[in-house]
């Protein structure tokens, strides 16, 4: 390039540099806040729904991880605890863990969790238990009651899992459906989950 043409282009290049620098200086982060018509939903349940959409086995591995500890739903570090749990269990790749983080931040699965909560509230147990199992017309509210129910000669109760239900992989086709209502991490959840997951005589639905 001739010297005079190079100098002629120099002011334009400088102008572009100045504009780019000003644009960087003026750039501001954007924070979007959305308010739903329902109360805040459980991040643990939202995390579970994310994993279920990835693969059903990831969902059940995640649920199994709550059989030995209790998680406070009011823990301000809940999101980080969930990220740590997923990473320690090696459930997701590094890239998918980032997507998992974004999903929790955006509360992507909050509408689905709220929908499932409203379904559960239609027939809560009379004693106000936070965990219970529905087996046809029978409502089981304690681990001891569930043990007796599973030991009895169970006949098909005519109930079928819904499309949005999570069906345990040990379920045998044609067996009676047992639906567990409860949140992973609460004290009453683990005994019900462990008993139902060990059974092949019922279709365990969560």
Mean pLDDT score, 157-184: 87
Cα separation, 131 vs 178, in Å, equals 13
Cα separation, 78 vs 71, in Å, equals 8
| Total length of the chain | 206
Percentages helix, strand, coil for the chain (3-state, rounded to 5) are 50, 10, 45
pLDDT of residue 31: 55
Q: What is the pLDDT of residues 74-112, one digit of tens each?
A: 455 688 989 999 998 899 999 999 999 999 999 999 999
pLDDT of residue 24: 46
Mean pLDDT score, 168-192: 90
Could you tell me which residues are beta bridge partners of residue 132?
Answer: 181
> What would the two tokens of residue 120 be?
């559960």
Return the higher-pLDDT residue of 27 and 150. 150
pLDDT of residue 5: 31
Return the higher-pLDDT residue of 38 and 180. 180
Residues 6+ apart with CB under 8 A from 205: 161, 165, 166, 167, 168, 177, 178, 179, 180
Under a CB-based contact definition with an 8 Å cutoff, are residues 146 and 171 in contact?
no
Under a CB-based contact definition with an 8 Å cutoff, are residues 180 and 133 in contact?
yes
Return the higher-pLDDT residue of 136 and 27. 136
> What would the two tokens of residue 65 be?
């991880």
Phi and psi at residue 181, in whole multiples of 5°?
-105, 120
Per mean pLDDT, which range of 26-40, 50-64, 149-163 is the poorest? 26-40
pLDDT of residue 52: 97
pLDDT of residue 144: 93
> What would the two tokens of residue 145 be?
């009651």
Above pLDDT 90, what percent of the chain?
A: 43
Strands (E), the chain: 132-135, 138-140, 177-181, 203-205
Cα separation, 126 vs 76, in Å, equals 31
> What would the two tokens of residue 184 be?
């992973």
pTM for this model (two decimals):
0.77
Under a CB-based contact definition with an 8 Å cutoff, are residues 96 and 148 in contact?
no
CA 26 to chain centre: 38
Q: What is the pLDDT of residues 109-167, one digit of tens each?
A: 999 999 998 888 887 776 778 899 998 888 899 999 999 988 886 666 667 888 889 99
**To the nearest whole number, what is the mean pLDDT of the chain?**
79
């Amino acid at each position: 390039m001739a010297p005079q043409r190079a100098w002629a282009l120099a002011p334009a290049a400088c102008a572009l540099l100045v504009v780019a620098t000003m644009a960087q200086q003026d750039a501001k982060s954007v924070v979007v806040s959305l308010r739903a018509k329902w109360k805040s939903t459980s991040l643990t349940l939202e995390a579970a729904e994310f994993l279920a959409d990835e693969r059903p086995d990831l969902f059940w591995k995640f649920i199994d991880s709550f059989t030995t500890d209790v998680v406070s739903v009011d823990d301000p570090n809940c999101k980080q605890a969930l990220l740590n749990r997923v990473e320690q269990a090696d459930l997701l790749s590094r890239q998918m863990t980032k997507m998992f983080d974004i999903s929790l931040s955006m509360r992507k699965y909050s509408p689905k969790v709220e929908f499932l909560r409203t379904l559960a509230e239609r027939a809560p147990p009379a004693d106000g238990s936070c965990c219970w199992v529905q087996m046809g017309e029978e409502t089981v509210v304690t681990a001891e009651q569930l043990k007796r129910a599973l030991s009895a000669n169970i006949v098909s109760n005519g109930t079928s899992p819904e499309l949005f239900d999570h069906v345990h992989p040990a379920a045998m086709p044609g067996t009676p459906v047992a639906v567990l209502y409860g949140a992973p991490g609460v004290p009453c959840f683990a005994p019900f989950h462990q008993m139902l997951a060990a059974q092949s005589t019922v279709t365990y639905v969560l």
